[in-house]
A = this chain, B = another copy of it.
Amino acid sequence: MHFALISKILGLLLVVFSFTMMPPVAVAYLYRDGSEGPFLVSFSISMLLGLALWLPFFRQRAELQVRDGFLVVTLFWSVLGVIGALPMLISEAVPVGFTDAVFESVSGLTTTGATVLSGLDELPKSMLFYRQQLQWLGGMGVIVLAVAILPMLGIGGMQLYKAEIPGPMKESKLTPRIAETAKALWYVYLAITIACALAYWLAGMTLFDAICHSFSTVSTGGFSTHDASMAYWNSTPIDIIATAFMLIGGISFALHFAVWRGKTLLAYMRDPECRFFLGLMLLYMLMVGGGLLVFGIHEAPGEATRHAAFQVASFGTGTGLTSTNAAAWPGYIPLLLVFTSFIGGCAGSTAAGMKVVRAALVFRHSIRELRRLIYPNGVFALRFGKHVVNDRVLQAVWGFVGVYITLSVIFTLLFTMTGMDLTTAVSAVAASINNLGVGIGQVGGGFANITDEAKWMMTVLMLLGRLEIFTFLVLFTPLFWRQ
């Protein structure tokens, strides 16, 4: 392990992160909400800590190795999670202790969007902006993680995407490649966010709300500046825009990049994961929309379609914005929505969950097993698009899915030990490990009232989910720390 190098990188990240305290300061001055103080203090702490970690090692020239990657990525999200909590912890306008502040900050950075706050509409504008910005930064971080880093770490079969990474290909040297990739993806992410903000603005939001909600839509984060979330506007055009951009956020940004470079929308239809994703979304929408009509929640098919599409896009991509009180829909519908978040969005998107590509591979593999029972000596290759998926990738996918489901079941039990009923416990697991953020049952109205133990468990699950489980888990094996 190159600890000196890791310290240098982490320090550099903190220095860069400290500058993200500046836009909220600007917002504070602009709206004269008097809340610039906490951000300036947090800026200083983050900057000083970053310099302290960076300067002693700034001459370090060693190359980052694949194995160091696990530690850097985990430290990156956990340290920024704690540092990101500072403004809320310091500010007197936000009545939170350490547990709640870290919960909220990690929830932001992991694009989870679960909140312990209420009375959002009364918070200082700068604080609202800061929360939304955390999500946007987290979304950018996760795209780089998913597109540039995880394929090289080989997590959960993501080596499948090694060849598709934009930028130069140098297997053993992480740094230049990540930088190149990040730059390419940055433009795409920024362009889509601007388009989303413009659309919201034209549809009637204030410019402030339009920008804030574009941050939490494209990042599939789900924070809002209003307690009522998108239901605050109750506007069909706004719901349609949100639905579209949540779906866009759930598609691989490497694919968006390819579409932008190739100048043809057909690339979406040629991508097997994207096709599978859109097919799933359509299926869910039919099941939810049909249910709304059958149960008579919406009599007009148009309204049923609007809310079904919005909520399916929101749960299915793990965004967690709400257009209506879906937790109160009858019977199976809220549960179905919660379950959709376990599959989640595409690899390389801002969405979390197990990822569509893995679900698709698991599905095709099961079909193949059925075929093999009938023709025990037959040879059936597993194809995904133009790839033939090799056994090594498939085993990694299965390992990932197995650990994901096992952890979900174990934490469901642990949550029931904190006094939750089963629906609430399942909902809390989905909200955190799938970075979904929104709950049903006793947490339908937010996570302020769960126990501190439950909040910490959710915080860990948010990180686990965002770091694709294994990045985090591998640090707990003795083998990792052996020379």
Contact = CB atoms under 8 A, between A and B. Distances in A.
B335 A373 contact: no
Interface string A298-330: 000000000000000000000000000000000
Contacts of A401: 402
A146 to B, nearest CB: 16
Interface stretch (A44-52, A184-192, A418-426): A418-426
B480 A374 contact: yes
A474 B419 contact: no
A366 interface: yes
A416 interface: yes
A400 interface: yes
A373 B470 CA distance: 8
Contact of A398 (B155, B374, B398, B422): B398
Interface stretch (A11-19, A210-218, A234-242, A388-396): A388-396
B399 A365 contact: yes
Contact of A374 (B67, B372, B391, B402): B67
Contacts of A398: 365, 398, 402
Contacts of A400: 369
Q: Among the interface residues A155, A402, A403, which one has the most CB atoms of the partner chain B within 10 A?
A: A402
Interface string A410-430: 001110110101110010000
Q: How large is the interface on A (under 10, 10 to 19, 20 to 34, 35 or more residues)?
A: 35 or more
A70 interface: yes
Contacts of A477: 370-371, 374
A374 B403 CA distance: 17
A153 interface: yes
Contacts of A154: 372-373, 376
Given A331-B417, A400-B369, A474 B422 contact: no
Contact of A336 (B370, B413, B474): B413
A370 B405 CA distance: 16
Interface in A138-181: 153-155
A370 B426 contact: no
Interface string A47-91: 000000000000000000011001000000000000000000000
Contacts of A479: 370-371, 374-375
A370 B413 contact: no
Nearest to A415: B332
Contacts of A195: none
Given A369-B399, A370-B473, 7 more contacts: A155-B373, A332-B413, A335-B413, A398-B398, A398-B402, A421-B423, A422-B426
Question: 6 closest A-B pairs (Cβ-Cβ)?
Answer: A369-B399, A332-B416, A398-B398, A422-B423, A332-B417, A366-B399
